[in-house]
Structure 1
């Protein structure tokens, strides 16, 4: 049976298809008005390439930017919120944390772009108190009904319900939801206790508000895509990759879209990690450069990192959901170069996207982009884009760079194009350092792995800028994120808040912990079973999130294999001390450790895509792959006659010395002078300085 991975980016939609006959790759333009149209067209096209019917597809795994784009474009649903009396302005006040401590001019996103407008935040009488979740003040049900009448009058159908201490007892939130659905049957309702069942009311409310803000449009997109695939004859399961790298169902993601806010970049990180395993390199810095953005992640020793909850912000709003640790900046092939009002030379974050696209696309775009600069420098061949499927106009690129950059700055077109490339490379290098050096990671011990349609054109420059040891180019750079989708497992998570001082715990506290663990395991097992995963294939891990008494945030710690008792609780505390030492460089072994949250992670292994090996070199010349020779300008300003090679005709063990350009359908790899590109066993390429070990 066949499986497809589909990754939708801002410019292109990437697909990979695995069948018994082999692995097929494809790229189609993203249909921005309705991404599902491009996805369905791409699925139909790649099935034709492989010579199979859509009905033969067993599974489609999808990475989507729908929810992310809603937060970026600020076009989510108009939301209403029902909250505890006296706490209406929690979403506005936040944590009194200044984005820039010493600046008088900065934006506070939760105030300038609120997820729920103040007039739509209605407080009602109710109160649940810690530490047991006892009801102090019953829920005022009439006030909830009055709030619903106001929402109906204002045309609001997306409702957030967030009450104080609901993570200890969510009875009031559940009752409020019942009332909302009685009054507004078609409402999209989010409970804070269901999307973030943890302490910290601001972060919990913000997460719930984000869920309702992106929920209706995201749910519509996912269900519309599922329906369109059915109409196209695809009866397979549709699975969505989540921000934590796990895969879930359409229905689960439609209910909790906060879990897929980083869906798109997650596939790239997983794909990069798997490419590292293929070449036997554990330390990887992935740089996924598409048409609109660059996503950067550091992977030490094959371990994909999950962000600390204190860092999980989306468009300036805290969102308490597990996310792969990565940095995203506005740097891609479509990033626009411009001169600002002060005469400064800038590139990005504004992007031309796929509509109208770079000037060379000839679709109405007139401003110069990174892609246009690459064409001016001869690094992209206008007649070879997407294997010749996309014809580009080099004259339009030259005209755009000259008009918008060269003439205003009084330089020639080539220097202007080099300036565009150098600026975008420096922007990405700074982001790489923020995800590595700034966190105590030495890039000299890591390989840069550039992918995405534009990635391999920048790989060597980024390695030089960050002192990385070499560059590894994946088998299908432009499709790596889609390949990652077929490398991940099904995954669900549930949390339960328990505030317990472990060193002072007694039998009653241990019983509460063990009861919560059992409940979490049951919830996760039920979700896996509902997805047709047999019990023997289910893997459930429970972790403890702990802190020192009074500390601001938690760290993850291991749980004992069996029940937590007076004899086994030190497994948790010792693990916490070790993690604190690792993350912060110190620990207090005698200090009090608080258990704050239990988190259950349920997973089921999926069949991983297998990339076939390529033919080993027979000792013949690499000229068998030579296509033609054209002039190309490199970063040092040299313009050299540069051979182009068909990457698909290079064998394992072949070495191509720079200057050279390796061409394939989904991407182009630049090998500057002084560097050599070696083809590895599966068709990956390692680029390093000539003479380097």
Structure 2
């Protein structure tokens, strides 16, 4: 009997599905229009496609989902009504934030405003209690005053409460007691404790992360509960149901519902994971992943085969301090809207037509021209072969929309206006790439661009040429590549514990005791989720800094350390500091700030199929000859069907390569080669 792994990446326009047959090792894909009001509706439609091909609910033994539910709720301000409880005298921490303006253009913006607080002062309560910096109780908690505050909240419609008490990461008992009292006084509220969400030093970041978790938790809990009910109705009984996390690993439905903040980069993380696997198969160790979908573009850097992980980031200008892949996101996708502003300037984005009404050419009621419409006007896209012919596009409507909304106000021809739209959106995405590469000292000539997402291969070759990159890799299934990355992701749980200590005063057995205690917790959670001992891997690390610095560097550590190991870790810290900041101070004292453990549950690997040449020719894959616009010139170029392109074939640009889930453009002067994994390598 066939066994299937099903993965789905929910995007703003389409939900991408991958079905992996564990018996035949074959991969099948499909794309379903997203249902933003209830993303689970599109998920069930995608699973019904598998059922229509002869599979049954019992055949699904693994399901993984990259979701934007939490991300969208955060960015759109549609989270739960949240309350905040803090130590008395510290209610201003959340409002003051970092006491600094962000870097970049905002530094010079005289109209700059901080993002609005997710919890206003009217829903912020103070608790009379105090723990000192060593974890000792200075002032016992006043429970009666807390109950009085909670009784006042009963009429405010509060759905979730964030609790962040001073130094609770050293003494969590007060927060745990607060949770018990909240459950008694406000029994239907979700509760997020900072000592559970992020037991880490730095009050503001811990508070901000806990507030975001509380803000999103009821939303994600409701969504996951709804999805589980739909699974039960369809008699899907597999225990292996996972949600992608921002750290590049997955987590069970149950664990995710308790820690919603870990999913804010759930969707794009799958593509970066797939990119790291691509690095291993192709031998290209330095990659920039470029995922362009319907509403946004996500880019990430992979150096020496490993994607970068940060322990602190911003989403929508809000600070989050959980392990996250270093992904830079900009509002640029196929559905991004183009318009001429009141000053007569062509703007592209940031708003998107999304799945509904979508681009004008989709004929779903859209009236504003989008990037997809511009690509159709330039004839990069086919009117009759979009989504393998399942969806017909209307070029005449796209031309008329660009003509009335962009070309006529600017005094341009519609095709010239369409080329301008593409040029502007490309520059926006190129700036996103520079921000994670050249701005950090990397030379883009050393990197290949991995172009995927429904629109990535349309834009990737031109952008790589403009940026001077080594070339472009277009994976075999680019339009669903993030969903393919979900197949390759292991289960991963992160644990952190802050305890500030000078390194030279630390004994190895002290470090081992803290790491071992966290390691036991990590192993127990994975065992509870059904992993065996030999399927569990634990990774240990230390956050370190020069004494007095305001930032840390994460340094890998072993399970059982000796004094010699601590000396080696100190040397590794100096070297890493020099690599990142071009200087080091080996004579200065170093502090250990936090201890980290990652518990990894190994999922059986998916074998990426390789292919041998079968003797096919370019003529076998030829579809038609089409005139398209390249750099201001209309050029006749061949159009090929990608599925029929044989290993080893070489295509000289200009050319267009079409497939079910995406379209690849090869520009004049470029050459595309089909490698042994049927990737398109453009140089």
The TM-score by the shorter chain falls in which range? over 0.9
For structure 1, which segment, 575-584 or 272-281, has the greater mean C-alpha deviation from structure 2 after superposition? 272-281
Secondary structure of the residue aligned to 1:569 is helix
Distance 2:121 2:189 in 1: 19
**Per-residue deviation, 1:142:** 1.0
Deviation string 1:97-141 (CA, Å, 9 cap, x unpaired) is 1123343221211xxx211111000112100001x2000000111
Q: Equivalent residues in 2 for 1:615-626 (5 A)?
A: 615-618=612-615, 620-626=616-622
**Per-residue deviation, 1:341:** 2.0
Give the equivalent residue in structure 1 for 2:316.
Answer: 315
Closer, same or farther: CA 47–679 of 1 in aligned 2, 3 Å? farther
Distance 2:294 2:676 in 1: 29
Are 1:407 and 2:405 matched, yes or no? no
Secondary structure of the residue aligned to 2:307 is coil
Distance 1:17 1:593 in 2: 50
Deviation string 1:398-454 (CA, Å, 9 cap, x unpaired) is 111001100000011010000000001111111111110001111101111110000
**Contact 1:26–1:46 (Cα < 8 Å) also in 2:** no
Q: Equivalent residues in 2 for 1:61-72 (5 A)?
A: 61-72=64-75
**Contact 2:512–2:560 (Cα < 8 Å) also in 1:** no
Give the equivalent residue in structure 1 for 2:436.
Answer: 435
Match of 1:104 among 79, 101, 110: 110
**Per-residue deviation, 1:329:** 0.2
**Contact 1:448–1:462 (Cα < 8 Å) also in 2:** no
**Per-residue deviation, 1:224:** 1.1
Distance 2:37 2:414 in 1: 35
Give the equivalent residue in structure 2 for 1:56.
Answer: 59
Deviation string 1:533-584 (CA, Å, 9 cap, x unpaired) is 112221112111111111001111132442454x542133222212211211
Give the equivalent residue in structure 2 for 1:582.
Answer: 579
**Contact 1:271–1:483 (Cα < 8 Å) also in 2:** yes
Are 1:628 and 2:624 matched, yes or no? yes
Give the equivalent residue in structure 2 for 1:573.
Answer: 570
Match of 1:289 among 287, 292, 295: 292
Give the equivalent residue in structure 1 for 2:28.
Answer: 24
**Contact 2:136–2:171 (Cα < 8 Å) also in 1:** yes
Deviation string 1:60-111 (CA, Å, 9 cap, x unpaired) is 11100110001111111111111100111111001111123343221211xx
Distance 1:349 1:676 in 2: 33
Q: Equivalent residues in 2 for 1:61-100 (5 A)?
A: 61-99=64-102, 100=106
Match of 1:533 among 523, 531, 534: 531
For structure 1, which segment, 608-617 or 360-369, has the greater mean C-alpha deviation from structure 2 after superposition? 608-617
Distance 1:83 1:64 in 2: 31
**Contact 1:382–1:393 (Cα < 8 Å) also in 2:** yes
Distance 2:333 2:20 in 1: 28
Give the equivalent residue in structure 2 for 1:299.
Answer: 302
Match of 1:265 among 257, 265, 268: 268
Distance 2:130 2:374 in 1: 61
**Per-residue deviation, 1:281:** 1.0
**Per-residue deviation, 1:611:** 2.9
Distance 2:403 2:628 in 1: 18
Give the equivalent residue in structure 2 for 1:477.
Answer: 478
Give the equivalent residue in structure 1 for 2:203.
Answer: 201
Secondary structure of the residue aligned to 2:248 is coil
Distance 2:464 2:160 in 1: 46
Distance 2:287 2:594 in 1: 31
**Contact 1:308–1:555 (Cα < 8 Å) also in 2:** no
**Contact 1:268–1:484 (Cα < 8 Å) also in 2:** yes
**Per-residue deviation, 1:315:** 1.3
Are 1:181 and 2:176 matched, yes or no? no
**Per-residue deviation, 1:303:** 0.8
Closer, same or farther: CA 569–387 of 1 in aligned 2, 3 Å? same
**Per-residue deviation, 1:614:** 3.3
Closer, same or farther: CA 568–614 of 1 in aligned 2, 3 Å? closer
Distance 2:515 2:178 in 1: 27
Distance 1:321 1:651 in 2: 44
Give the equivalent residue in structure 1 for 2:243.
Answer: 240
Distance 1:467 1:607 in 2: 38
Distance 1:322 1:234 in 2: 32
Secondary structure of the residue aligned to 2:325 is coil
Secondary structure of the residue aligned to 1:493 is strand
Match of 1:139 among 138, 141, 146: 141
**Contact 2:518–2:597 (Cα < 8 Å) also in 1:** yes
Give the equivalent residue in structure 1 for 2:14.
Answer: 12
Distance 2:567 2:533 in 1: 30
Q: Equivalent residues in 2 for 1:369-408 (5 A)?
A: 369-408=370-409
Give the equivalent residue in structure 1 for 2:645.
Answer: 650
Distance 1:240 1:433 in 2: 30
**Contact 1:63–1:482 (Cα < 8 Å) also in 2:** yes
Q: Alpha carbon RMSD of aligned pairs, Å?
A: 1.3
Count of residue pairs the alignment pairs up? 675
Secondary structure of the residue aligned to 1:682 is coil
**Contact 1:513–1:564 (Cα < 8 Å) also in 2:** no
Match of 1:676 among 664, 671, 679: 671
Distance 2:328 2:571 in 1: 31
**Contact 2:617–2:646 (Cα < 8 Å) also in 1:** no
Structure 1's consecutive aligned runs of 4 or more residues displaced over 6 angstroms after TM superposition are: none
Are 1:37 and 2:20 matched, yes or no? no
Distance 2:681 2:383 in 1: 26
Secondary structure of the residue aligned to 2:262 is helix
Match of 2:194 among 192, 195, 220: 192
Match of 1:597 among 581, 589, 594: 594
Give the equivalent residue in structure 2 for 1:555.
Answer: 553
Closer, same or farther: CA 612–504 of 1 in aligned 2, 3 Å? closer
Are 1:486 and 2:487 matched, yes or no? yes
**Contact 1:29–1:38 (Cα < 8 Å) also in 2:** yes
Match of 1:513 among 511, 514, 517: 511
Deviation string 1:121-178 (CA, Å, 9 cap, x unpaired) is 0112100001x20000001111211121122121112001110111111111000000
**Per-residue deviation, 1:470:** 0.9
TM-score, normalisation: structure 1: 0.96
Secondary structure of the residue aligned to 1:603 is strand
Give the equivalent residue in structure 2 for 1:216.
Answer: 218
Q: For structure 1, which runs of at least 5 residues remain unmatched after alignment? A: 689-693
Distance 2:469 2:270 in 1: 23
Q: For structure 2, which runs of at least 5 residues remain unmatched after alignment? A: none
Give the equivalent residue in structure 2 for 1:691.
Answer: none
Give the equivalent residue in structure 2 for 1:424.
Answer: 425
Distance 1:81 1:621 in 2: 66
**Per-residue deviation, 1:265:** 0.6
Secondary structure of the residue aligned to 2:304 is helix
Distance 1:277 1:107 in 2: 44
**Contact 2:245–2:265 (Cα < 8 Å) also in 1:** yes
Distance 1:400 1:463 in 2: 29
Give the equivalent residue in structure 1 for 2:122.
Answer: 119
**Contact 1:44–1:54 (Cα < 8 Å) also in 2:** no
